[in-house]
Amino acid sequence: MTKVIGLTGGIGSGKTTIANYFALMGIPVYIADDEAKKVMQSENIVQQIKTTFGDSIFENDILNRAKLAEIVFNNADKLAQLNAIVHPAVKSDFELWLQENKNHDYVIYEAAILFESGRYKECDVIITVTAPEQIRIERVVKRDNTTREQVLSRMKMQWNDEKRISLSNFVINNSNLKIAKEEVVKILKILNIKQNQS
């Protein structure tokens, strides 16, 4: 049976970069945040979001993600409401994807809130990606064209590294990409995963 490696880390830790490196090594990768964006365009989910958050976050029937982010990242209850709509749909989508990749020994499930959502309980192995807070803030400010304050408010909504690490099997420090890639190779060897298994 295919084993699921949960890959997580705080905002700006560079977990997607690490996930992409696993993909280069031949491990199928499911990026939960990317799939959630697709799921959120489905008619059923759009309707639920409109019912919960109102029409004002839609422009010409297209969800304004920045407006929605502003609401949920400043209000834990609103974030929980959004997650209750999106998470079950992503879970179903992942289960279909897992079926499509069942010929692989391992797959990667990459999610920012792997622990907060409880999905970590469904993983066989958990890897947490870390990086110093200042580096993480700089990465997100540059990537999302946002402010330091907005990044910090999103960080507050997530578990801290200590909490994540306490429940993880492996930790990758991603302040230096070359060293982080070496860590990926080491983990693959420990798990005895043949590189480029496809």
Residue 10 is labelled as binding a ligand: no
Rounded CA Rg of the chain: 17
Residue 13 is labelled as binding a ligand: yes
Q: Are 173 and 131 in contact (CB under 8 A)?
A: yes
CA–CA gap between residue 29 and residue 27 (Å, rounded): 6
Residue 181 is labelled as binding a ligand: no
Neighbouring residues of 115: CB distance < 8 A, sequence distance ≥ 6: 8, 159, 163, 164, 167
Residue 12 is labelled as binding a ligand: yes
CA–CA gap between residue 168 and residue 59 (Å, rounded): 41
Neighbouring residues of 50: CB distance < 8 A, sequence distance ≥ 6: 58
Residue 15 is labelled as binding a ligand: yes
Q: Known binding site for ATP: residues?
A: 12-17
Q: State the binding site.
A: 12-17
